[in-house]
Structure 1
């Protein structure tokens, strides 16, 4: 498998909410800021903890996972908001090369084969991606 660094021009955003509460019902990113087939990294508070989320746009749908590889618990991006995508269209963990399909986040190759990324529910409405 060959990796194409920079193939995806990732986006990184951060939300600042007074009180530090969960951001359910708050927009994470404007949909127009996430190109079809691209990744973005956003920060959000989930269950009281600050988390890095990986977003992936597939047409009008957006999928989200925690930005953590199930193999060793490290971030998936090689630099904040910069992700590797194989020529086959798989997300590749920058640390150990685990490859994930982008429908359900399942690892299809590498050290955590058969495991999956932890999904985070999001919805698209009013031109933005929202934490569900």
Structure 2
């Protein structure tokens, strides 16, 4: 397992990016759960964000690709609008406990 951050460093309705070795990833907290994805748009294989930790749309209800406008469901990573509709973000296994949020490898 790889430590990502403390639980209180990812607030409800927010996202946060991480870099582990050569892998870019991001986490989103929604309804008390943490969802972890590879930071890579399935449309062009580029990072989803332009600014650090900015992975959500203005309503904080969908993940967005800032470059192409694609929208993804937080819970599944499915693209529901945009050039990669029907594709999925690459989900990563994570675990949260009192000590932190962890990437499970």
TM-score, length-normalised on structure 1?
0.73
**Quick one: which of 46, 65, 78 aligns to 2:50?**
78
Once residues 127 and 88 of structure 1 are traced to their aligned partners in structure 2, the CA distance between those partners, rounded to angstroms, is 26
**Quick one: which of 36, 40, 47 aligns to 2:16?**
40
Deviation string for 1:59-113 (max 9, x for gaps)? 4321100001000111101123223414371111011100001000000000000
TM-score, length-normalised on structure 2?
0.90
Task: Give 1 or 2 for the bigger CA radius of gyration.
Answer: 1
Count of residue pairs brought into register by the alignment: 104
Partner residue, 1:27: 3
Runs of 4+ in 1 over 3 A off after TM superposition: none
Partner residue, 2:38: 66
**Unaligned 5+ residue runs, structure 1?**
1-24
